[in-house]
Amino acid sequence: MTIRQSLSTRIFRTALLLMAFLLLHGCAGISDRLSFPAPASRPSPTKPAPALPAPQDAPAPPTADQAPEYPSVPAGPAHSLFLQADRALQSGRPGQAEILLERALRIEPGNPLYWYSLGRAKYDQGDFTQTVQFCLKAEGTMGRNPGLARRNRELMENAARQLADSK
Amino acid sequence: MNIQKRRLTLYTVLAAALVLLGLFSALYVLRLDSTIREKFDGKRWSLPAVVYARALELYAGLALSPQMLEDEMQLAGYHRADTAVGLGAYVRRGEAFDIVTRDFQYPSGLEKSDRISVRFTGERVTALTRTGTGAPLDLARIDPARIGSFHPIEHEDRIILGREELPDLLVKTLLAVEDQHFFTHQGIAPRSIVRALAANLRAGSTVQGGSTLTQQLVKNFFLTSKRTLSRKANEAIMALLLELHYSKDEILTAYTNEIYLGQDGGRAVHGFGLASQFYFRRNLDDLSADQIALLVAMIKGPTHYDPRKNPEGCLQRRAMVLKIMRERQIIDEERYQQAMTAPLIKIGQMLSGFNRFPAFLDLVRRQLKEDYREEDLNSSGLKILTTLDPQVQWQVEKQLSRTLDGLEQQKGRADLEGAAVVSNRESGEIVALAGGRKAVSGEFNRALDARRPIGSLIKPAVYLTALGRGYTLASPLDDTAIVLKEAGTKTWRPQNYDKKEHGQVPLYLALANSYNLATINLGLTLGVEQVIATAKTLGLAGEHQPYPAFLLGTAEMSPLEVSHMYQTLASGGFFLPQRCIDGVMGADNTLLKRFGLSVEQRFPADTVFLLNTALQHAVGEGTGHSLSRYLPASLHIAGKTGTTDNLRDSWFAGFTGDRLAVVWVGRDDNTPAGVTGSSGALIAWGEIMRSLHPQPLVLDEPPGIVWSSIDRRTLASAGLFSSDSVSLPFLAGSRPESEPLLPGIDTEKIERTTKGVFDTIRGWLD
């Protein structure tokens, strides 16, 4: 009886796997991951907030002649703080921006754009060590966001260069 | 001639005596004058440092129940009203609130009062709008609750107000009752003194005072309350001098800030500003006639006319004041009649500001002492903005106490104590802290000071060391008996909790099931020094000898120190200095110091990802499995139990998507408490977290991680027909191959960069 059950279970599992294989055959990029602990996607905000995607492509560190542009998304609580922080950064108030970004991160701690922007605030204050660290933190939460990832890397490299120059 | 000579001599002596007397008097007056000017021109009051909780951020989508919002506003000194008009008032209609927030000076600047409407559906904020216009708001802040203050010995507290902040109603009432001729006398009122003297002589005792406001201020400010002739003389002279140097408005303002108006536990309530908040939860300019009358009535004897202790006497005195207010036409007949029928103070209305969360305040004070002198904390009027989340703190206190009560229902368990620390996972902000089962001021703060062996809570440091040196989650470990002996010590035969050996077990399972033998064997292979180095990098403080017993958690740590160490794991390998203070501001609202967020990557993200996955298994299927009684498995909590010899200490440390918490349960006398990590601290942890509605833990997966299904029996890559497999993450290139590792395990393959596991162990053998 036990042997029969075990055999039928195996046949069933094999059939399922074959079906799954056929279904997935045409799909590109099959995940290697199978089950537990199964994080399904990018980290979601750890506190409930209105669903507000971070802009896919974050701005480069602002320069005098280049104002960053953001997609026109409705400003949720964390994002509205981010926008205020960005304005503070552009008007040369990185300390103020830092406070606003910390508030945004309390609401949405998994957002790489806020970590990256904190790196920008530190960069503008000349704290290049923390800039690198916040960029590393942003990198850890980046997920699939190539534009932001590139700018994050650039900022990190700039800060690392500054650190090297100061030694 | 002789007579004339004698007279001349007498006059000369008298004149000389008079000159001397005049000289001494002048010197004495000058000294009093200097005393007055020194105090009045300088800092008049020692202002305690005031400690605030974090400000509550409101936004649509926030998980918060209507009751939680009301509790929070009550804590912050808001008052419920029928119509939200004054600052700090709110109207509640079921699940809808209209709130008038108050101005508050944050480190980022002044945030002005706003009128906001909050709507709930169930336990979630669904709409945040501006009252009246209905315009949607992204965000609004409720100004933070004052949770305590740091006082000097005399425990005086006050809120200093300027002359322009004193409402007319108060000034007129105060002068009508205490000093009708304030604006015309020069500091003393001889006619009032004579009248009072006559009244007192008639009565045979002191029934009437003749002191002006200026004299009262002098008495309170510079002198004792002794009723002696010399004190009265000094009072009169100093009152005259005070009037000579300072304007009536300055004297009046100083009086209203100095006057003692009652007691809040160990805190003396001074001045009308604080008294208004303490008795009525309102700003002074928001008080009604009966409330003003009550405060003025109390001046005569704050203890005797205390509305809590002597409501009858207080009511009579208030009626007398209201009568004077009507006679002097400060209020009309209608207002008088209304005020006469108003209740004294409502039940639960009073707002105690006397250190409600003593264990947390203790932590704040210790952190501040690193930067500030004691007298700065006691007297400079600093504003300390902390990270305390009252909602979390209430739950921690409640659930810890309840759990310990429940545990003690079982025979053999008594006098249990506990401590807990809760922080935000990604920021390291400490949001709640319990120093014992009762939140009592001055009690032993176990969260900070109870240093106990941490038992298996040290094991993640062992496994993190291994994962950093080429081991994988599927690496087989040897869970077999070992006998250790060091020179001059007894033979040590460590055992598993279940007293069994489990043979060769995969690394993740050894951690999940907290196998002692596998951990010791692994730790000795890696080197105890290496494990200590990892633990220190995680945040372990102090020096530790590299004894094998370290691997099973002989290091003594406080719950706060454990929390510090686990914070590095919870944040994915980034060391975060845990913070309980956000910023310190001066009495003039300038930002003095910010304790901003800072991070430092101390471990590669991929290694910590592997370890945290194993810690998720510890909760999913290991020693923390019973957590499923309190929280759903879908939260994927990562955590570790800890138990010490003879069940003396019970620990649980773990994190969800949003919070890290560490709980300790044991006894103060260090005798066996009769609970393991999972039958003690874990329960309190589960109850605390359940009450906080935690977010699921979704670990940030670094690039290069590959997942593979592993056969639990062979630890090789699971085939299609494997009936017992587990999916585990691996660093790229480290995924096990398909040939079985068990049985007949190839030890060289396991050891990778390490060498000589058995050689090292042999060294410890007899």
Residue B29 φ/ψ region, left for φ over 0, alpha for ψ in the -120 to 50 degree band, beta for the rest: alpha
* CA–CA min distance B751, chain A (Å): 25
Q: What is the mean pLDDT of chain B?
A: 89
Residue of B nearest to A139 (CA): B702
Min distance B594 CA to chain A CA atoms (Å): 9
Q: What is the pLDDT of residue B3?
A: 78
What angle do the packed helices B289-298 and B168-178 form, to 10 degrees? 40
Name which of A59-73, B591-605, B675-689 the model is least confident about: A59-73
For residue A96, what is the nearest residue in chain B, using CA coordinates? B108
Q: How confident is the model at residue B6 (pLDDT cuts 50, 70, 90)?
A: confident
pLDDT band per the 50, 70, 90 thresholds, residue B440: confident
CB-count exposure of residue B408 (10 Å: 0-12, 13-18, 19+): middle
**Which residues of chain B does A80 touch, with a Cβ-Cβ cutoff of 8 Å?**
138-139
Predicted pLDDT of residue B353: 65
CB B729 within 8 A of CB B613: yes
Residue B429 gets which letter from DSSP?
Answer: B
Indicate yes or no: CB of B426 within 8 angstroms of CB of A81.
no
Q: Which residue has the higher pLDDT, B723 or A36?
A: B723
Please write the tens of the pLDDT for every residue from B234-277.
888 889 998 989 999 999 999 999 999 999 877 889 999 999 98
- Which range, of A119-123, B107-111, B280-284, B660-664, averages the lowest pLDDT? B280-284
Q: Which chain B residues in 724-753 lie under 8 Å from chain A, judged by CB atoms?
A: 726-727, 729
Q: Annotated catalytic sites of B, by residue? A: 178, 456
How many contacts does A have with B, using Cβ atoms within 8 A? 135
pLDDT in tens, B654-713: 999 999 999 999 999 999 998 999 999 999 999 999 999 999 999 999 988 999 999 888
Nearest CA in chain B to A122: B598
Q: Mean pLDDT, to the nearest integer, of B146-154?
A: 77
Chain B residues lying within 8 Å of A3, measured CB to CB: none
Q: Is the pLDDT of residue B569 over 90?
A: yes
**CA–CA dist B259, B90 (Å, integer):** 30
Contacts of A88 in chain B (CB under 8 A): none
Q: Which residues of B touch A50 (CB under 8 A)?
A: 59-61
Is A49 part of the contact surface with chain B (CB cutoff 8 Å)? yes
B109-111 and B383-386 beta bridge pairing: unpaired
> What are the tens digits of pLDDT across the range B518-557?
999 999 999 999 999 999 999 999 999 999 999 999 999 9
Q: Is the peptide bond before B743 cis (omega within 30 degrees of 0)?
A: yes
Is the CB of B709 inside 8 Å of chain A's CB atoms?
yes
Report pLDDT digits (tens) over B368-410: 988 888 878 877 889 999 999 999 999 999 999 999 999 999 8
Q: Which of A49, A102, A140 sits opposite B700 (nearest CB)?
A: A140
- Of chain A, the percentage scoring pLDDT greater than 90 comes to 50
Name the minimum distance, in Å, from the CA of A14 to any CA of chain B.
7
A42: closest CA of chain B, how far (Å)? 7
- Per-residue pLDDT, averaged over A93-109, amounts to 96
User: Which residues on chain B are in Cβ contact (under 8 Å) with A141?
Assistant: 700
Distance CA A38, CA A27 (A): 20
Contacts of B625 in chain A (CB under 8 A): none
Within an 8 Å CB–CB cutoff, is residue B695 touching chain A? yes
Nearest to B354 by CA among B268, B478, B288, B476: B268
Substitution target in B700, B720, B724 with the highest count of A β-carbons within 10 Å is B700
pLDDT (tens digit per residue) in B472-488: 999 999 999 999 987 67
In this predicted structure, the answer to whether residue A48 has a pLDDT above a threshold of 50 is: no
Separation of alpha carbons A112 and A118, rounded Å:
10
Token look-up 């730790």 returns B523
Q: How far apart are CA B540 and CA B523, in angstroms?
A: 17
B518 CB contacts (<8 Å, ≥6 apart)? Answer: B477, B478, B479, B502, B505, B510
Single-letter code of the amino acid located at B572: G
Which residues 81-100 of A are in CB contact (within 8 Å) with B?
A: 81, 95-96, 98-100
- Chain B, nearest residue to A16 by Cα: B720
CA distances from B364 to A2, B384, B630, B668 (A): 64, 9, 31, 24
Q: Report, as an integer, the average pLDDT of B623-640.
A: 97
Label residue B207 by pLDDT band (50, 70, 90): low
B107 near A CB under 8 A: yes
**If you search the block for the tokens 């704290």, which residue do you land on?**
A127
- Residue A65, pLDDT score: 35
Are A81 and B139 a contacting pair at CB < 8 A?
yes
Phi/psi of residue A103, each to 5°?
-65, -40
CA distance B487 to A12: 61
Is residue B14 over pLDDT 80? yes
Confidence (pLDDT) at B209: 67
pLDDT at A58 over 60: no
Confidence class of residue B441 from pLDDT cuts 50, 70 and 90?
Answer: low
Q: Which residues in chain B are closer than 8 Å to A124, comparing Cβ atoms?
A: none
- Whole-angstrom distance, CA of residue B52 vs CA of residue B238: 39
Quote the CA–CA distance of B518 and B506 in Å, as a whole number. 10
| Closest-CA distance of chain A to residue B213, Å | 46
The pTM for the full model equals 0.81
**In the predicted structure, residue B563 carries a pLDDT above the cut 80:** yes
B328: left (phi over 0), alpha (psi -120 to 50) or beta: alpha
Asked if A37 lies within 8 A of B613 by C-beta distance, the reply is yes
Most A CBs within 10 Å, among B508, B599, B610, to test the A interface: B599
Most confident of B181-195, B233-247, B563-577: B563-577
A73-83 pLDDT, tens digit each: 445 899 999 99
Q: Hey, are the CB atoms on B698 and A98 less than 8 Å from each other?
A: no
- Per-residue pLDDT for A18 more than 70? no
Q: Which residues of A touch B726 (CB under 8 A)?
A: 35-36
Q: Which of B54, B56, B58, B59 to mutate to test the interface with A (most CBs of A within 10 A)?
A: B59
Residues 6+ apart with CB under 8 A from B138: A75, A76, A77, A79, A80, B59, B128
CA dihedral sign of residues B523, B525, B531, B532: positive
Q: Is A77 on the interface with B (CB under 8 A)?
A: yes
Q: CB–CB of A34 and B572 under 8 A?
A: no
* CB pair distance less than 8 Å for A50 and B720: no
How close does chain A come to B51, measured CA to CA in Å? 19
The pairing of strands B56-58 and B49-52 is unpaired
CB contact under 8 A, B138 and A77: yes
Contact A107 B729 (CB under 8 A): no
Q: Do A9 and B723 count as a contact with CB atoms less than 8 A apart?
A: yes
Asked if B707 and A80 come within 8 Å (Cβ–Cβ), the reply is: no
In this prediction, residue B221 carries a pLDDT of 81
* Residue-level pLDDT at B448: 97
- Give the E-state strand segments of B474-545 in sequence order: 476-479, 503-506
Q: B742: which 2 tokens?
A: 């068990």
Residues 303 through 362 of chain B touching chain A, CB cutoff 8 Å: none
Kindly determine whether residue A134 and residue B124, on different chains, have CB atoms separated by under 8 Å.
no
pLDDT at B154 (0 to 100)? 60
Residues 555-614 of chain B with CB under 8 A from chain A are 572, 574, 594, 596-601, 605, 613
User: Are B426 and A36 an interchain contact pair (Cβ–Cβ within 8 Å)?
Assistant: no
pLDDT score at B340: 95
Q: Do A39 and B572 touch (CB under 8 A)?
A: no
Q: How far apart are CA B763 and CA B748, in angstroms?
A: 19
Note whether B254 and B212 are within 8 A (CB).
no
Residue B632 has pLDDT above 60, yes or no: yes
Among B45-49, B403-407, B598-602, B659-663, name the one with the lowest average pLDDT.
Answer: B45-49
